[in-house]
Structure 1
Amino acid sequence: MINMFVKNLFLSGILLLIYLPIGNGHHSVALQFDMTKDVTIVGSIVEMEWRNPHSWLHIEVANELGEPELWRVEFGSANALYRRGWRRDDLPVGLSVTIHGIPSRDGSRQIEGDEVLLSDGRSLFSGTGPGN
């Protein structure tokens, strides 16, 4: 009886360790971002991380004093963006983009991205944010 309890406890612990990192990658957008506001930033792409469960666009934006600041824009998974028509070639380093999205609640330079307007006039919709 005790052996079965210890075995079940051990297996439960192993399963928890396996699934804990997966659950940590998902969060409530409403907890991290202020859904009552929207923000638009313009800058140049520094890096695009095509990842699951979240992709990240890093852009350099000039602040009010004209000094460069690094902003991070969160999107859905690389798979979801691909299904919406996003391609790696659309976002090369150095490209000037305009981002619409939801600002972070903590005032950091982080946005939940809704739409990316490319310099050629095309728009990439992320499927998240206020437009959804």
Structure 2
Amino acid sequence: MPTLSAFTVTVAGSALAGLIATSAPLVAHHAFGAEFDANRPVTLKGVITRMEWVNPHSWIHIDVKNPDGTVQSWMIECGPPGALVRRGWSKASVPSGLEILVEGYQAKDGSLRANGKDVVLPDGRRLFAGSSGTGAPYDDVAGKK
């Protein structure tokens, strides 16, 4: 009966380990439609409490004040850090304490999470949030084009 050489076992084991290591990020990533609802656009005005520059999606955490004075803490999913930087974002452009306007789409489960499309800064600059979005290049969010 033929036996497997140490080389064959090493190559097969390395290939399997590589496959497992590279498949984890694919499982963690999701399509827009899996979590967010294109029929539930949101426009949120709030104060940044934290910005997470992480892959595969950056996150902006904002506190939104309701008309009754209560505050809701929202999480806004954005594109990866490298893509945001290429679109004009920097850590200095979105510091904690800055009031911003976010246009995007609410999570399907109704939680206080949204997929960000655009972020409008106090000086009027509009930054593309660059998350996965609906896939349409000129989405009409909350009646704005």
TM-score when scaled to structure 1?
0.85
TM alignment of 1:75-90, pairs within 5 A: 75-90=78-93
Matches within 5 A, 1:89-108: 89-108=92-111
**Which runs of no fewer than 5 residues in structure 2 stay unpaired?**
138-145
Question: Is 1:54 aligned to residue 57 of structure 2?
Answer: yes
Which residue of the other structure, out of 15, 19, 23, is the alignment partner of 1:20?
23
Residue of structure 2 equivalent to 1:44: 47
Counterpart pick for 1:69 among 68, 72, 86: 72
Q: Which moved more, 1:13-22 or 1:105-114?
A: 13-22
Cα RMSD for the two superposed structures: 2.2
Distance apart, 1:64 and its partner CA? 4.7
Please state how far the C-alpha of 1:16 moved relative to its aligned partner: 4.0
Distance 2:130 2:124 in 1: 19
* Identity over aligned pairs, percent: 37
**Superimposed CA distance per residue, residues 88-129 of structure 1 (whole angstroms, 9 cap, x where no aligned partner):** 111111000010001100000000000001111111112343
Displacement of 1:9 after TM fit? 6.6
2:29 equivalent to 1:29 = no
CA–CA distance in 2 between the matches of 1:23 and 1:17?
10
TM-score (norm 2): 0.78
Paired residues, what number? 131
